[in-house]
Structure 1
Amino acid sequence: MVPLLRLRGVTRQFATIDGPALQILRGIDLDVAPGDRVSIVGRSGSGKSTLLNILGLVDQPTTGAVELDGEPVALMGARARDRLRGASVGFVFQQFNLIEGLTAAENVAVPLHYGAGRRYWQRAHLAREMLHRVGLGHRLDTRATNLSGGEQQRVAIARALVRRPRLILADEPTGALDIETGSRTMDLLDEVATEAGAALVTITHDLAVAARARRVLRLADGRLRALEPSAAGALS
């Protein structure tokens, strides 16, 4: 079976003003299958967000290959990559990235404006339905600026899931939530991913979140190393 996402020998470096290039990723190999559950852990500054941007086709590696459904991403033009990302990838951003002047429902509907058919014409209904699923049915018409941090995070999750993407990338999805709400949020991510047959890749400092995955990977010194899920509790 062709993996949904494949990375081979991926590196990422950034130029500096007066010194050698800063090497963030050093030869990353990773296969993500449809329906997979992967958690990536690591210390702050280890390159987790850089890797997430490459997985989500937002950034390209300095060297190495990225394939989605067996198609080399490097051979695609910028517009083709944007279309593929919009159709296949759902992001749950650590910083939420909500549009302040829009309501919760309007924020969740934004990705559906770029769709077609039923998803476009029923975008308001689908957005409201997803907000009910994340427990925000009572905040549908509240502007983003009037939501708490936890509520904003749940809106961001609803926005990522509303298109039923094949690949869900979550950057610290429980970071602004209390333990109980965070657990329900991860249940929801798992549930929607299962319904869609989607892969879920989570970057987290939360060891309980990491341990829920089928595979736990640690990013250190620019390289990924596999850990047993039970070993997540030993991470620091």
Structure 2
Amino acid sequence: MTLLHLEAVTKTVPLPDAAPLTILHGIDLEVSSGDRLSIVGRSGSGKSTLLNLLGLLDSPSTGTLTFDGRPAKKFSSAERDRVRGRDIGFIFQQFNLLQGRTARENVMTPLLYATGKQFWKRSTLAAEMLERVGLGHRIDTMPEKLSGGEQQRVAIARALVRGPRLILADEPTGALDVETGASVMALLDDVALSTGAALVTITHDPAIADLASRHLLLDHGRLSTVRDDGRPNDLVAVSRRLPHAPQPAASEIGHSGVAQGVGA
């Protein structure tokens, strides 16, 4: 089942005292239930801008983006919020945990906006998800008492507690050591496989990208398929040949969308 479909999508943002900057050029992409795909690209290639579109945090300048068969441009602001909260789980490099709140309380946060059973059983559901990510013994621990890998596992549990159909992981291991990062990615992969969710990992690290079964390359805002059979050496070689994409100086950025999209 197709969750996301992008056709000829572009993203252009205004710059003060300069011509508009086009970050994404003619993006064609289809993401279906159960997909495990990686999007790799150097700094400035437009990865974060693409993530914002996939997560319905932003809208294309031109082209079409549909979620679950419905054009995203027809969603109201409230509908976008509901879809993001119910169907999309976000995992970032920075854990963004609430200080002064236990692991369980952090994982419960998305359930505060749920309805019915998920709301009334939020404490139990949070504890069960922490158990699933191997932190059942740490449910009442504060974030500052957790290691980096444990904090990322709490963030993963928080992203997955509502059973999203699409998991978007933006540099999810960037703040972790190699061994812990591999463990976190294995966990994400296992959860995605067991639930049938689509897992999209956006990264600059070919080694992390190789863990997916479908590899895409974002180069200067243009998306292309590297391989669909999981052979890693091709992705590594292509990525290493890429020059760094040019970026505007910070003083040139006058739009919040650019601050998120350029240079990531």
When the two structures are superposed, what TM-score results if normalisation uses the length of structure 2?
0.84
Identify the residue that residue 260 of structure 2 maps to in structure 1: none
The offset of 1:99, in angstroms, is 1.7
CA contact (8 A) 1:131 1:155 kept: yes
C-alpha distance in structure 2 between counterparts of 1:197 and 1:134, whole Å: 17
Q: Which residue identity does 2:143 align to in structure 1?
A: A
- State the one-letter code of the partner of 2:92: F
1:64 aligns with 2:63: yes
Tell me, yes or no, if the aligned pair for 1:134 and 1:185 is still in contact at 8 Å: no
Structure 1: distance between partners of 2:139 and 2:21: 44
Residue 49 (1) aligns with residue 48 (2): yes
Contact 1:15 1:21 in 2 (8 A): yes
Instruction: Provide the rounded CA distance (Å) in 1 between the counterparts of 2:46 and 2:75.
Output: 25
- Kindly state the Cα deviation for residue 6 of structure 1 after the two structures are TM-superposed: 0.3
| Counterparts of 2:80 and 2:48, CA distance in 1 | 19
Alpha-carbon distance, 1:118 to partner: 2.3
**1:180 alignment partner in structure 2:** 179
TM score, norm. by length of structure 1: 0.93
Name the amino acid aligned to 1:202.
T
CA contact (8 A) 2:65 2:71 kept: yes
Offset of 1:148 from its aligned partner? Answer: 3.5
Residue of structure 1 equivalent to 2:243: none
For 1:77, the equivalent position in structure 2 comes to 76
Distance across 1 between alignment mates of 2:180 and 2:144: 20
Partner amino acid, structure 2, of 1:117 = G
Distance 1:45 1:100 in 2: 31
Q: 1: distance between equivalents of 2:177 and 2:207?
A: 13
Shift of 1:90: 0.4
Deviations 1:150-196 (A, max 9, x none): 33222111111111110000011122223332222222212211222
Structure 2 counterpart of 1:232, from 230, 235, 254: 235
Q: Secondary structure at the match of 1:217?
A: strand
**Residue deviations 1:92-139, cap 9 Å, x none?**
022222222311111111111111222222211221222222232333
Q: Which runs of 5+ in 1 are unaligned?
A: none
DSSP-derived class of the 2:193 partner = helix
Could you tell me which residue of structure 2 aligns to residue 205 of structure 1? 204
Is residue 92 of structure 2 the alignment partner of residue 89 of structure 1?
Answer: no
Higher relative contact order (CA 8 A, sep 6+): 2
CA distance in 1, matches of 2:91, 2:63: 25
Unaligned stretches of 5+ residues in structure 2: 241-264
1:150 & 1:214 partners in 2: Cα distance? Answer: 24
- Cα distance in 2 for residues equivalent to 1:70 and 1:191: 27
1:11, 1:224 → 2: CA distance?
11
Which residue number corresponds to residue 6 of structure 1?
5
Residue range with higher mean Cα deviation, 182-191 or 8-17: 182-191
**Conserved in 1, the CA contact under 8 Å of 2:31 and 2:198?**
yes
Deviates more, 1:92-101 or 1:214-223: 92-101
Corresponding letter in the other structure for 1:139: R
CA distance 1:137–1:178, shift in 2 (3 Å): farther
1:99 aligns with 98
Is the 2:86–2:163 Cα contact (8 Å) retained in structure 1? no
SS for the counterpart of 1:165 is: coil
